[in-house]
Amino acid sequence: MKTALAATLVVALLFSVMAGIGFVKLAGANPIGMTPAPHMPSITIERDGNVNPANVPITKNGTVYTLTGDITNHQLNIKCYNVTLDGGGFSLQELQVGPPSESYAPSTGVAIYANGVTVKNVTICQHDTAMIVHGSNNTVTKVNLDSSVKIKGNYNKIIDNVFRNAYLPVEGDWNTIKGNTLLFRGLALLGSSSFNAVTANTIAQCTCFAVTPSEGTNFFFLNNFINNTNFPMDSLPPHLPKNLNLAVLAQTHISPHKWEKIPNGWKAIYLDNTVFDNGTFGNYWSDYNGTDADHDGVGDTPYIIGGNLQDPYPLMAPVYIFSPAPRPELSPTALVAASVTSFAVVGMGLVVYFKKHRN
């Protein structure tokens, strides 16, 4: 009862955080046979650091570029290495300027084509794709988004952002997805993407699974999975068989890797190379109904995902998510070890919290 109440309170808080950030794109596609839609004009931070065109609401101070106003109906391309784009609380948005037949072709809000870029403190809304992150060692933090963010490079950090109905596909390796809130749409690790660390996120109210794992090895721990569902049977995507027996799934948060034909329908197949714990703590699952006899904040029995895939250390209450102090850059091997150690320490704090609030 207390766990259910905690999950309800977390969801309520998430919706209050999202108040005022719900955007609905009004632009429509051009009908077949009509003149192709024009591409959205671009603003580019060039390789040499110049802004093109120059008469846009962006100021430059060394390697920091700061918005001084909203940018409407433009794609922002960043091609300069090791720079910061500070949104200053402003937005990049696409607005319909005429009837749907005059809308732009599918657009992107921000496209990063460099390494060492930081994008922060900005809202990106109503574009078909909010961001595409090419390259490595880029950081996206404290950004509000309402459409997809595509992570194509390696060693990128997606930290402390709010995704509302925004899909997060990750194609690269060694990326860090931490401290984010994802509502209504989830996270997909595509292809063989590997060694991505997904920690301290809240993924809630997704209606078509919260996570789609890749074929690679990736790590999930100290996340909150709250009230996510699988596909409603009457609205299965076209590429899936219509006689899937979704009722046989043990849970609704993690998508199967594929479906295998069996005599009476289809069987869900899970790969067991995704890791859902750090050796001490796992994740919070809103539908976990296990017990905690020793009151250490960790369930006595594993949370079953499917096949051989499970979370051996499910948490009994939602994780209180905060951003730890920044740490020096580490090598890939040290990064995983340090992440496990860091979040184990956070986990110990959670155990104390759970004990104090259990009664």
Q: Is the pLDDT assigned to residue 317 strictly greater than 80? A: yes
Of the candidates 165, 156, 200, the one whose C-alpha atom is nearest the C-alpha of residue 183 is 165
Q: What is the pLDDT, as a whole number, of residue 347? A: 44
| Phi–psi pair at 212, nearest 5 degrees | -110, 110
| Phi–psi pair at 355, nearest 5 degrees | -65, -45
Q: Is the pLDDT assigned to residue 205 strictly greater than 60? A: yes
Q: What is the pTM (predicted TM-score) of this model?
A: 0.77
Q: What is the pLDDT, as a whole number, of residue 198? A: 95
Rg over alpha carbons for the chain, rounded to the nearest Å, is 21
Tokens standing for residue 230: 């699988």
Name the percent of the chain lying above pLDDT 70.
71
| CB contact at 8 A, 189 and 213 | yes
Q: Report d(CA 112, CA 137) in Å as an integer.
A: 11
Task: Give the burial class of 121: count Cβ atoms within 10 A of its Cβ; 0-12 exposed, 13-18 middle, 19 or more buried.
Answer: middle
Computed over every residue of the chain, the mean pLDDT equals 78
Q: What is the pLDDT, as a whole number, of residue 259? A: 80
Name the percent of the chain lying above pLDDT 90.
49
| Phi–psi pair at 356, nearest 5 degrees | -65, -30
Please write the tens of the pLDDT for every residue from 168-180: 999 999 999 999 9
The 10 Å Cβ neighbour count of residue 195 is 18
Please write the tens of the pLDDT for every residue from 67-99: 999 998 899 999 999 999 999 999 998 876 555
The 10 Å Cβ neighbour count of residue 31 is 8
| CB contact at 8 A, 84 and 140 | no
238-247, long-range: CB < 8 A, 24+ apart: 241/265, 241/266
